[in-house]
Amino acid sequence: MSSTFLNTPIEYLKNVGPQKAEVLKKELHIFRYSDLLTFYPFRYVDRTKFYKIKDINEDLPYVQLRGRIVNTKTIGTKRSQRFVATFADETGKLELVWFQGAKWIAEKIKPHFSHEFIVFGKPTIFGGHFNISHPEIEPVSEENTTLASALQAVYNSTEKLKTKGLDTRGIARLQKTVCSLIRNNIPETLSKTILERFHLLSREEALKQIHFPQNQEMLKKAEFRLKFEELFFIQLKLLKQKNTREKTNKGFVFSIVGDYFNNFYSSYLPFELTNAQKRVIKEIRLDMGSGKQMNRLLQGDVGSGKTMVALMSILIALDNGFQACLMAPTEILAHQHFETIADLLKPLHITIGLLTGSTKAKERRQIHEQLQNGEMQILIGTHALLEDVVQFKNIGLVVIDEQHRFGVAQRAKMWDKNTQSPHMLIMSATPIPRTLAMTLYGDLDVSIIDELPPGRKAIQTVHRFDSHRDRVFGFMREQIAAGRQIYVVYPLIKESEKMDYKDLMDGYESISRAFPLPQYNVSIVHGQMKSDAKEYEMQRFVRGETNIMVATTVIEVGVNVSNASVMVIESAERFGLSQLHQLRGRVGRGAEQSYCILMTSYKLGSEGRLRMETMCRTNDGFEIADVDLKLRGPGDMSGTMQSGVLDLNIADLAKDSQILHSARNIAIEILTEDPNLEKIENANIAYQFALSNTDKTNWSRIS
Ligand code: ADP
Ligand code: MG
């Protein structure tokens, strides 16, 4: 299964000298034939299609024309010469312009004057007329009319590549050369079973077709095959990591469900659990009793009741003589968790601590001590928990809320808080599209809470323009009169931005004027406030002492005030979809009908409009996440770029979810039957797998 051909250094290719090789390596990381062959076109032009000059418009990326040269001239001084040819078909004329190589092109054209030419290039307007600079031009011949029946690949290039003649055409020429050398020398990477089951082209055929497609259909097939392969090996890797981790990472065995859990469940649970909550708690309990370390992602839309699941899981840890901690991304959220949980557990006499960046030194020392001697059973806090000084006597479970705010490295840090890694429960309300979750967290077990607690009314969302603010204020007054509370949120993308800050303060002022004391109370919370001042204002709102909370996105995650029924989002077009959805999730937590009002100016781009429409149309976090993925692409979605698994070469997570599902399922099937890829029929896969995993990063321990 030698692949000497693919491994051939790029400088051995005909017409690639040391200079070209150098820039190919630097600019495109093309070192070997295989790198060149997997440098795929980013689009194709249809060379079967000819335009008439009269139909040309500036939006066309490329046009192909057929006509005659009716005139040529050389313009300019010797130092900056231009060669201009007037080109005509039966519908009109345009100019072809060359800024370099005037002489050469003149000579190329001259002998064929009065001949018919094929011209190919990008039309631009210059001085009111269309022209094409540096077009491809060739006299019509039998050869190029047959060649013109193919789809032509277009490659990305860079300035540096272009100076070495490697524009898209130059790269295509190299591809032509390398493809002409292909002759049963590209090893297959997939098994016969997979090829047959999914009707895939061989790797060799796919690589040839992706650069020089015979027709649309073959192009589709080639793309499908290469995308499938790419996604398959990513999934295989994730799944293998998971298998390895499960084999090697033993977990504390939580064998019993004891008094803490049972007492709480039978006497102090404030509501009946939803079926989804029950199911998920059961999944977690099984995990923690299995002897393997749990690594579970708990996904549930905002308000689905993840906190209770976390709490019940923590009680199981305590029942088995272990400590547990809950880490949240913001201080406000940590506070809120602390208060909710301390309150719920009051009758059980459990020692709970809160540790954040603003915990005073003395208190901090006491917490450290109590953690080490085992007195403190539950610790709730922020990133402060990650610090090395935070050591437990015997931690058995780590819960991380709103995981997308934490990176892989931070999660990994929690693994080392005990001699054997504690169980990990990772919670997320950001509904990541399933395709993305499968790729980013493909090696985690996933539980989904797909049911909201009963009695919730769907939030009504509307989009209003700034000019209708008076009407919105009127609506707010009605709601306040009915006893409700209101959030008004301003975008403060960076807490330090002066402009944003001014918007917020102006907004606060105008709201204070429209809702004056003593009839109304308005509070404000933003990131530049001291944390106890923030906390004070939050608490006033929680206790119902203020009617309106003017805030920045500091309230985005987790905050829970069930009497708040209106969320007004200012400059809503400046928020991403998932952020809008998170913000909206702050209301609709009680039994009252809740509302979300998206305020924007009339000026709204098409993407902004789509975001508003999506929000008004649906409350389904997963649907919103899918639209978000399509709008933004996966690169921007997950915040912390996790492990480079998203550097896809050809597949597109926004479009290829079907392929991803098939690839993942077959990978699962194969690993179930042949966990170490030892069977003969999987030899290709095993070989390629070993090859593609020679890089050093070992993500299998952390996930
Ligand atoms: P999230 O999943 O967004 O973290 P929370 O855990 O904050 O949601 O729960 C949202 C609200 O729903 C809280 O007020 C919580 O007490 C309440 N809640 C959770 N589970 C239930 C349930 N089974 N029945 C009724 N209310 C519930
Ligand atoms: Mg929450």
CATH number at residue 548: 3.40.50.300
Tell me if 406 is assigned to some domain: yes
CB neighbourhood size of 418 (10 A): 18
pLDDT digits (tens, 9 = 90+) for 49-66: 889 999 998 778 788 899
Query: Residues 480, 582: one domain?
Result: yes
Q: Which atom of ligand 1 is nearest to the CA of 562?
A: 14
Query: Residues 269, 333: one domain?
Result: yes
Query: Residues 594, 575: one domain?
Result: yes
Query: Residues 339, 466: one domain?
Result: no
306 lines ligand 1 (CB under 6 A): yes
CA gap 84, 86 in Å, rounded: 7
pLDDT, mean of residues 588-602: 91
pLDDT surpasses 70 at 687: yes
Q: Among 148, 177, 195, where does a domain finish?
A: 148
Say what the pLDDT of residue 694 is: 67
Tell me if 427 is assigned to some domain: yes
Q: Which residues of 203-228 are buried (b: 16+ CB within 10 A; e: fewer)?
A: bbbbbbbbbbbeeeebbebbbbbbbb
Query: Residues 390, 471: one domain?
Result: no
pLDDT band at 642 (very low <50, low <70, confident <90, very high): very low
Residue 206 backbone zone (phi > 0: left; psi -120 to 50: alpha; other: beta): alpha
Dist. CA 419 → ligand 2 center (Å): 29
CATH code of 138's domain:
2.40.50.140
Q: Among 618, 641, 659, where does a domain finish?
A: 618
Tell me if 550 is assigned to some domain: yes
Q: What percentage of the chain reaches a pLDDT higher than 70? A: 92
Tell me if 246 is assigned to some domain: no
Tell the residue nearest (CA) to atom 18 of ligand 1: 305
Query: Residues 283, 388: one domain?
Result: yes
308 lines ligand 1 (CB under 6 A): yes
pLDDT, mean of residues 343-364: 96
CA-wise closest residue to 67 among 112, 133, 129: 112
Say what the pLDDT of residue 112 is: 67
Residue ranges making up the domain that contains 100: 49-148
Query: Residues 478, 335: one domain?
Result: no
Greatest mean pLDDT range, 68-82, 474-488, 493-507: 474-488
Tell the residue nearest (CA) to atom 23 of ligand 1: 273
Question: Identity (one letter) of the amino acid at 262?
Answer: N
Query: Residues 439, 482: one domain?
Result: no
Tell me if 36 is assigned to some domain: no
Dist. CA 310 → ligand 2 center (Å): 10
Tell me if 320 is assigned to some domain: yes
Query: Residues 368, 339: one domain?
Result: yes
336 lines ligand 1 (CB under 6 A): no
Tell me if 496 is assigned to some domain: yes
Those residues whose C-beta lies under 8 Å from the C-beta of residue 62, and which sit 6 or more positions away, are 45, 120, 121, 122
Say what the pLDDT of residue 412 is: 79
Query: Residues 403, 514: one domain?
Result: no
Q: Which atom of ligand 1 is nearest to the CA of 273?
A: 23
Tell me if 235 is assigned to some domain: no
pLDDT mean across residues, the chain:
88
The residue with tokens 């995981």 is: 403
Say what the pLDDT of residue 39 is: 96
pLDDT surpasses 90 at 342: yes
Query: Residues 359, 278: one domain?
Result: yes
Structure tokens at 227: 């995308």
pLDDT band at 556 (very low <50, low <70, confident <90, very high): low
Q: Among 592, 618, 644, where does a domain finish?
A: 618
310 lines ligand 1 (CB under 6 A): no
Lowest-confidence region among 250-264, 337-351, 654-668: 654-668
Greatest mean pLDDT range, 7-16, 325-334, 577-586, 643-652: 7-16
| DSSP letter (8 states) at residue 40 | -
Query: Residues 324, 412: one domain?
Result: yes
Q: What percentage of the chain reaches a pLDDT higher than 90? A: 56
* Structural domain count, the chain: 3
Say what the pLDDT of residue 303 is: 82
